[in-house]
Amino acid sequence: MSSHNNIDVVKRSQIIALHEEGRNISEIARETGVNWKTASLWIQRFQMEGSLSHRQRSGRPNLIDASQRQLMVREYEENGFKPTSHYARLFGTCADTVRRVLHSEGLHNRRPAVKPLLTERHKTARLQFAKDHLDYDWSNVIFTDEKSFRSSQHGRLHLWRRNNTRYDTNNVVPNMESGRISVNMWGWMSAAGPGELVRIPNRANSETLWKC
């Protein structure tokens, strides 16, 4: 069924023609594929106004001009974490208008990716390690690591970005910030699958890990 705001003038004309033929509202709705309310609305409007055109809406005009749009898109591509309220105040409009403009420019509100902050040296070293051990037999190797799970200081973050740019540097939150520690864990895995997961009661260091 169609909304009364979406049907075209041809469909509206069919509604009126069927009404003038003496069809009731249910028959008109069934034959035209619109709901009962939509058929009734256009019949009443035609009887009162003699028109099948949409009424002019008195919505708030778009206050963001072309130059402001370019500025806003460029800055969001550089830093997608800015709140839309900032540009709403700057341009004298509402946040919904800012969001509509961003959507029309291909920018969408997403949760950021979180991953370790790697320097170029880290990336080079990891790539070299992968190349050196490409054909290595890992069946007799055990990997271990510890992890501190903590509450976040900044809460849930969102940003505006284009599709397929989740892991671009500007769109990633490095998980190196300090926070309130909630629990420390240690675990291991091998080619056979995951191993034990052990809680570390104190701070994670070489001494406590050895005792675990």
pLDDT at 167: 79
Q: Distance (Å, rounded) from C-alpha 199 to C-alpha 128? A: 33
* Distances in whole angstroms, Cα of residue 212 to Cα of each of 181, 193, 208: 19, 20, 6
Q: Distance (Å, rounded) from C-alpha 193 to C-alpha 196? A: 10
Q: Is residue 195 part of a domain?
A: yes
Average pLDDT over every residue of 163-185: 71
pLDDT tens-digit map of 118-173: 788 988 999 999 999 999 998 989 999 887 776 655 556 778 788 888 878 777 77
Average pLDDT over every residue of 63-77: 87
Residue 102 has pLDDT above 80, yes or no: yes
Domain hosting residue 167, numbered range: 114-211
Same domain, 176 and 132: yes
- pLDDT band of residue 8 (cuts 50, 70, 90) is confident
Same domain, 159 and 89: no
Q: Which of 101, 94, 93, 96 is nearest to 75 (CA)?
A: 101
* Distances in whole angstroms, Cα of residue 71 to Cα of each of 145, 171, 187: 45, 19, 48
Same domain, 154 and 201: yes
Same domain, 139 and 197: yes
Q: Is residue 169 part of a domain?
A: yes
Q: Is residue 61 part of a domain?
A: no
* Distances in whole angstroms, Cα of residue 23 to Cα of each of 5, 39, 120, 204, 211: 22, 11, 75, 79, 86
Say which DSSP state 138 is in: -
Residue 58 has pLDDT above 60, yes or no: no
Same domain, 151 and 194: yes
* Distances in whole angstroms, Cα of residue 108 to Cα of each of 28, 58, 143, 158, 164: 41, 27, 39, 10, 11
Same domain, 98 and 118: no
pLDDT tens-digit map of 189-211: 998 899 988 888 765 555 555 55
Residue 153: how many other CB atoms lie within 10 Å: 9
Same domain, 122 and 94: no
pLDDT at 90: 85
Q: Which residue has the tokens 């009734």?
A: 40
Q: Which spans in the chain are helix H?
A: 9-20, 25-32, 36-49, 66-78, 84-91, 95-104, 120-132, 206-211
Average pLDDT over every residue of 58-85: 81
Residue 1 has pLDDT above 50, yes or no: no
- The region of weakest confidence among 31-35, 60-64, 74-78, 163-167 is 60-64
Average pLDDT over every residue of 73-80: 88
Q: With a threshold of 0.85, does the pTM exceed it?
A: no
